[in-house]
Copies of this chain bind each other. A is one copy, B any other.
Amino acid sequence: MSEQKIDTRLWSTKAKNLTPYVPGEQPKHDNLCKLNTNENPYPPSPKVAAAITAELTDQASGLRLYPAPESDELRQSLATTYGLAPEQVFVGNGSDEVLALVFAAFFMKERPLLAPDISYSFYPVYAETFGVELITIPLRDDFSIDPDDYRRPCSGIIVANPNAPTGLLLPLPAIAKMASEHPNAVIVIDEAYIDFARAEEGKEVSAIHLINEHDNILVTQTFSKSRSLAGLRVGMAFGNASLIEALTRMKNSFNSFPLDKLAQAGATASLQDPDYFSQVCDNIIKLRDVMSRELTKLGFEVIPSHANFVFARPPQGNASEIATSLREQGIIVRHFNKPRINEHLRITVGTIEQTKRLIKALSELSG
C-alpha cells in the first residue's frame, strides 16, 4: 500500500524499523524470458509429481492430517543421500526460513556476525530482524574472499559458496581454516548453488563432510535451484547434532509444521532420482559455458561462475541501461543498484533457446 496511507500507530518498534528483503520480481507475462531469479530451466524429476499425486490420493493419511513435524522421512532420505545421520540434518520452508532460524539460534549474541560486503542481500535483513550486529568484510577487488580478513572476534561468519551474485567458489581448505580459527563461532556455508560447482579433478566442493571434523560448521542448501523445486519451498541444513538441535528448538518455538505433506513427499522423491539430478546439473553447466563464451565475445567481462547464473560487466559498464532495454523485449535479468556491483548484471542460465534470444538481443543493443 502507498506509504502515506499506512498508520504505524499499533506497530512494534521492530516492525517500524524493518527494511524487508525484496525478492526478484515474479511477473506473469507470456513469452517472457525470465533470467532474474536463478530458477532452473528444467522441470523437476517426474518422480516428484508421482509422489505428490500418491500422497494426494492416500485416503489413510491425506491432507486432513497434520504432517510429520520433524519431516522424518525427508531428513532420513537426505541423510542417506549425503552419508550422514538424520540427527545431522534439519529441514525448513526454503533455505530462507532455515537461514532465519540460524540467525536466531547462533548469531543473537554480544559479538558481531561477519559476512562479505557483496553477498546474498537477505543476510542484512535477517540481522535487522533478529537484532544481530553485522560487520561486512569487503571482498577483494576481484570479488574473491580473503579468509584472513575474517580473523576478528565474532559470533559467526556467513558465506554464500558459491557466492551470490559473483558465482565465485571458496575452496574447502579456506573454510576449514576459518572454522579452526574460530572454535567458538558458527561458520555458516550457504550452498544454495553448490550443485553447479565443479572443482579440479578429485576435489570436493561442498563443505558437507567438513561437519564431521568441525562441530562449528553448518552448511545450508536448497531444493529450489538444482532440484528445480523453487515452487515447493524446501531447504535444509547439515551440521553437528547439537547445532541441529538448536535449530529444531528454534523452529518449534516459531512454527511446528513448516513443511506441508506434499512438500515433504515431493522433496523426498526428488532425492530418489540421482541420475536425473546429475544430468540437469551437467546440462546447466554446459549452458553456462555457452552463455559465458557468447557474452565474452560481445565484450562482457565474465566472472568464471560456479552457479546457475553468470555475473558479467558489459563493455561500457552500462548495466542498468541494458537491463532496462532487455526488459522492453521481455528479457528479465537482475541488476543490483549497489556500490561496487552496479556495473554488472546477474543473468540466470536458461535453456539454449533463452540463451540465444538473450545473446541476439544483446548483439542488437551493442550493434
Contact = CB atoms under 8 A, between A and B. Distances in A.
B63 A229 contact: yes
Interface stretch (A144-152, A230-238, A297-305, A327-335): A230-238
Contacts of A343: none
Contacts of A263: 260, 262
Contacts of A215: 7, 10
A214 to B, nearest CB: 11
A137 interface: no
A49 interface: yes
Contacts of A210: none
B26 A68 contact: yes
Given A241-B1, A253-B125, A64 B97 contact: no
A12 B96 contact: no
Interface core residue of A43, A67, A94, A260 (most chain B CB under 10 Å): A260
Contact of A229 (B64, B100, B184, B246): B64
A10 B109 CA distance: 10
Contacts of A283: none
Contacts of A53: 53, 56
A69 to B, nearest CB: 6
A114 to B, nearest CB: 15
B10 A216 contact: yes
A252 B94 CA distance: 13
A63 B186 CA distance: 33
Interface residues of A, number: 95
A106 B105 CA distance: 22
Nearest to A20: B252
A316 interface: no
Instruction: Quickly give the copy total for this chain.
Output: 2
Interface string A66-80: 111100000000000
A257 B257 CA distance: 15
Given A43-B59, A96-B256, A246 B15 contact: yes
Nearest to A229: B63
Interface core residue of A1, A11, A40 (most chain B CB under 10 Å): A11
Given A69-B26, A233-B258, A261-B232, A184 B9 contact: yes
A126 B253 CA distance: 6
A198 B290 CA distance: 65
A18 B249 CA distance: 7
Interface core residue of A12, A13, A242 (most chain B CB under 10 Å): A12
A229 to B, nearest CB: 5
A260 B233 contact: yes
Interface in A5-25: 5-15, 18-23
A272 interface: no
A176 interface: no
A294 B155 CA distance: 59
Given A14-B250, A52-B56, 4 more contacts: A10-B242, A12-B108, A52-B52, A260-B263
21 contacts: A7-B242, A11-B106, A12-B104, A13-B108, A14-B108, A15-B105, A15-B106, A15-B246, A20-B248, A20-B249, A20-B253, A21-B256, A26-B66, A52-B56, A52-B262, A64-B230, A67-B231, A126-B254, A231-B262, A232-B261, A258-B258
